[in-house]
Amino acid sequence: MCAVVSDRQQIADDDARDLARLGYAQQLFREMGGFSNFAVSFSIISILTGAVLLFGYGLKFAGPIANSIGWPLVSIMTLTVAASMAEIASAYPTAGGLYFWAFRLGGRGWAWTTAWLNMIGQVSITAGINIAAAIYIIGIFTREPKSWWFQLGVMVLLLIPQVAINLWGIRLTARLSDLSVWWHIGGVLLIVLLLAFAGAHHNPASFLFEFRPSVRPEEVSALYRGAPLALLFVLSLLQAQWTFTGYDASAHLAEETMMARKNSAWGIVLSVAVSTVAGYAMLMVLTWCIPNGDVAATANDAYPVLQIVRGNLASLPSQVVAIVIGVAMWLCGVASVTSMARMWYAFARDDGMPGSRWLKRVSGRYHTPAAAIVVTSALSVLLCVYAAAWAVVTSISTICLYLAYGIPIVLNLRNLRRRAGEFMTPEVAAWSLGRWSPVVNAVAIAWIAFITIVFVLPPNELVLWTMLVAAVLLIVVWVGRARRTFRGPGMAERVGFEPTVRY
């Protein structure tokens, strides 16, 4: 037993030395193993949240093909982004990883921009997850759609215990994330088995690959009337792409993860890979069991997945499935609050924003960034007040997060091609793509550029204007103040190695 404790302490000390070489002293508890690190990202991706709540969105724009072809297409492209990020994460295992990567690969300006995109994305994804959970849970008890303000009130009720758990400490959060993995896998198996063997409606196999949009004319811009059908299919990809967000959590939790260089990288990649397989199985069965093959009725239902479940199963099993999905969404929110707060804490630690003095504080008892947890959670509610539409919140989070994901990848590929500055090689990155790195990076960059353009098109015009306003504000703040005051992430000479936490 003593040997195990000694080995664990040695690993923790090695991780702390790695962190010190990157410029930071160990302040947060290293309580998470590789599985827990993966579990947080997997829980935020949450195929029982994004894929369920946006199921009708995909069907409206493309029909069954949004799931049978759209999901695997997005999954493969997302894996290139995740693999590119994992390689960089294994070289720089720090909280708030993306902006630290951008600093090392491109300098202060890129780091500052990446940080703000990531922070906006983190707040908006937490907002999207919790308002989605509120909408869904309301649907369990009533089929009548409620007002946005009623949904917002339920969201706040869901958020309060999530904040409390995160304040309590990373150990409890890690255990809930571990539970969340098995809850999600078990939930998917339950849905698949019940609908496959007890479902009342099974459509022909050919139905799964039909292109059958059912979006109403008043729901789309005149831009799409007479537009190529391929454009509608592209718009349907938001369903899958929003689901595949938030897996940068594995990087944000690096300072709380044992053997962070490898475990954070594997957490990023495996969370996407496992979600790909489990999500595809669930979506195909749900599509297969659309009652009477009526795509329009399901797509335009306020709660399309509940409509499928209730149309196929008896009352008791359908209620069990509904509750399982609702709990999964709440667990997803817990993990999202964890990741969001770590990113804000990391940037505040380097005095990158107003209020850094308070946001970077770590509670003495639980070693959690308490102020960052509370402030960012409140901001997620305020974002929903501003957006007043769930599709807008999801689009903002998708674009901001993927732009933040893309900047370090672009900088790494640029440096690699120039053979100048820092770039990823097997000697630098503990998790390496080797000779495939440039190709995978290039595909990832092209995909991010593509979805950024797609998801600001109507019906998401508010997203476009929001992103333009945000870009102008960032430029003004950088030129007017931050360029002179923001020094960038801490350098190694600012700290010495002396573990502040014993394990």
Sign of the Cα torsion 238, 46, 443, 255 reads positive
Q: Which residue has the higher pLDDT, 29 or 131?
A: 131
For residue 8, the surrounding DSSP H or E stretch is helix 2-21
Which of 289, 294, 263 lies closest to 430, judged by CA?
Answer: 263
Look at residue 404 in the predicted model and tell me its pLDDT.
Answer: 93
Query: What pLDDT score does 201 carry?
Result: 95
Nearest 5°: the CA angle 393, 397, 398 is: 115
- Residue 220 DSSP symbol: S
Residue 501 has pLDDT above 60, yes or no: no
Tokens of 130: 């919790």
Q: What is the pLDDT of residue 216?
A: 64
415-429 mean pLDDT: 91
The alpha-carbon radius of gyration of the chain (Å, integer) is 22
Q: Is the confidence at residue 493, as pLDDT, over 60? A: no
SS3 state of residue 48: coil
Provide DSSP, 404-434: HHHHHHHHHHHHHHHT-S----TTT-SS--G
What is the rounded CA–CA span in Å between residue 395 and residue 125?
A: 9
pLDDT at 15: 62
Residue that has been written with the tokens 């010495």 in this structure: 496
Say how far residue 362 (Cα) sits from the centre of its chain: 24
pLDDT recorded at residue 57? 86
Locus of tokens 């009548």: 144
pLDDT at 388: 57
Helix (H) or strand (E) holding 199, with range, is: none
The conformation of residue 365, written as its DSSP 8-state character, comes to: T
Cβ contacts of residue 29 below 8 Å, gap of 6+? 169, 170, 171, 256, 367, 501, 503
- Residue reference for tokens 């869901």: 158
Query: 267-289 in b/e burial notation, b at 16+ Cβ within 10 A?
Result: bbbbbbbbbbebbbbbbbbbbbb
Q: What is the mean pLDDT of residues 326-354?
A: 88
Domain covering 34-250+257-486, topology = Amino acid/polyamine transporter I (1.20.1740)
Query: What band does 491 get if pLDDT is binned at 50, 70 and 90?
Result: very low
Query: Please, what is the angle between helix 315-349 and helix 108-141, to 10°?
Result: 160
The predicted pLDDT at position 185 comes to 94
Question: Quick check: 170 pLDDT over 80?
Answer: no
What would the mean pLDDT of 417-424 be, rounded to a whole number? 92
Which tokens belong to 170? 């990373």
Q: What is the DSSP letter of 218?
A: G
C-alpha dihedral sign at 407, 411, 412, 417:
positive
| pLDDT above 70 as % of the chain | 85
Residue 441 vs residues 12, 26, 166, 211, 445: alpha-carbon distances, Å: 31, 31, 34, 31, 6
Averaged pLDDT for residues 177-181: 89
The answer to whether 84 touches 444, Cβ cutoff 8 Å, is yes
In 107-169, which residue ranges form alpha helices assigned H by DSSP?
108-141, 148-168
Which has more pLDDT, 349 or 405? 405
Whether the per-residue pLDDT at 496 is higher than 50: the answer is no
73-90 per-position pLDDT tens digit: 999 999 999 999 999 999
- Which residue, 327, 328, 377, is CA-closest to 126? 377
Q: Does residue 429 carry a pLDDT above 80?
A: yes
In whole angstroms, give the CA distance from residue 34 to residue 265.
Answer: 10
On average, the pLDDT of the chain sits at: 85
Closest CA to 376 of 351, 345, 352: 345
Between 461 and 156, name the one with better pLDDT: 156
pLDDT higher than 80, residue 227: no
Task: Dump pLDDT digits (tens) for 361-395.
Answer: 887 677 788 899 999 999 999 888 876 556 667 77
User: Which tokens belong to 2?
Assistant: 């003593």
* Range of lowest pLDDT (129-143, 288-302, 479-493): 479-493
Q: How far apart are CA 154 and CA 138, in angstroms?
A: 8
pLDDT band at 174 (very low <50, low <70, confident <90, very high): confident
Separation of alpha carbons 345 and 373, rounded Å: 9
Q: What is the pLDDT confidence band of residue 14, given thresholds at 50, 70 and 90? A: low
Measure the CA–CA gap between 153 and 147, rounded to whole angstroms: 10
Question: Is the pLDDT reported for residue 155 higher than 90?
Answer: yes
Question: Above 50 in pLDDT, residue 497?
Answer: no
pLDDT given at position 200: 94
> Whose CA is closest to 44, among 172, 169, 133, 170?
133
Res 179 pLDDT > 70: yes
Nearest C-alpha neighbor of 91 from the set 350, 361, 437, 396: 437
296 band by pLDDT with thresholds 50, 70 and 90: very high
pLDDT at position 199 over 90: yes
Return d(Cα 139, Cα 145) in angstroms, integer.
8
Instruction: Answer with the residue of higher pLDDT: 255 or 216.
Output: 255
pLDDT at 117 over 60: yes
Q: Is residue 32 helix, strand or coil?
A: strand
The mean per-residue pLDDT over the stretch 304-333 comes to 94
Check: CB of residue 242 under 8 Å from CB of residue 279.
no
Query: What is the pLDDT averaged over residues 204-215?
Result: 90
How high is the pLDDT of residue 224? 55
pTM exceeding 0.95: no
Sole residue written with tokens 């820092």: 422
Q: How far is CA 433 from the centre of its chain?
A: 22
Residue 458's pLDDT band (cuts 50, 70, 90)? low
d(C-alpha 491, C-alpha 108), whole Å? 13
pLDDT digits (tens, 9 = 90+) for 30-64: 667 778 889 889 988 989 988 888 899 889 889 99
257 forms beta bridges with 32
pLDDT of residue 503: 31
Q: Which pLDDT value is given to residue 96?
A: 72
pLDDT value, residue 456: 77
Residue 339: predicted pLDDT = 85
308 has a pLDDT exceeding 90: yes
